[in-house]
Amino acid sequence: MPRATAATQSRSLTEDRESDLEGFVGYNLKRAYLVFSADFRRALGRHGFGPRQFSALSLIVQFPQITQSELARKLGIERSGLVAIVDELEGRGFVARMPVPGDRRVQALAATKDGRTAYLHAREVVRSHEETLLSDLTPDELDTLNGVLRKIRESEA
């Protein structure tokens, strides 16, 4: 069994030879997220997708007729913040706002054919960008990472 490398003494309270900062999960989480974010833009920027548009379109494709409030809830952002995202997706012809018979307040969202096509293509680009970024990880590490990130997310109030 390949044991963890020698660089895992980080739990000591008094050993200060490496930066304190590197020992904080929050800081490392932010830096790792920034690496992903920058690479995402490199990979999908030319396709005209930012992370927010991609996330929103993904959920719209997957949950047809979802309302804006529900989508905002799933994304963890405010309704007001979602308006601009949907505006842009609609402006590109990827998404349509549609009235809902029973309730005239809500706008149901549906991906157009173009939107679905663009999403399926973008999804493959994102998969490949992630595969590259994560290529140094063992399958075990990848599994643990996914599980841990989910645990952290679920600990949210």
Binding-site member from 26, 76, 91, 139 for DNA (CB under 7 A): 76
- CA pair distance 130, 152, nearest whole angstrom: 20
- x-or-dash pattern for DNA, window 93-122, by CB under 7 A? ----x----xxxxxxx--------------
Question: Which of residues 59 and 77 has its CB atom nearest to DNA in the complex?
Answer: 77
Q: What are phi and psi of 64, to 5 degrees?
A: -60, 145
- Say what angle helices 113-133 and 25-44 make with each other, to 10 degrees: 130
Phi, psi of 115 (to 5 degrees): -65, -45
In this structure, the number of other CB atoms found within 10 A of the CB of residue 50 comes to 15
Q: Which is nearer to DNA, 79 or 127 (CB)?
A: 79
Q: Which does residue 113 touch among its own copies, DNA, none (CB within 5 to 8 A, set by kind)?
A: its own copies
Among its own copies, DNA, none, partner that 147 touches (CB below 5 to 8 angstroms by kind): its own copies
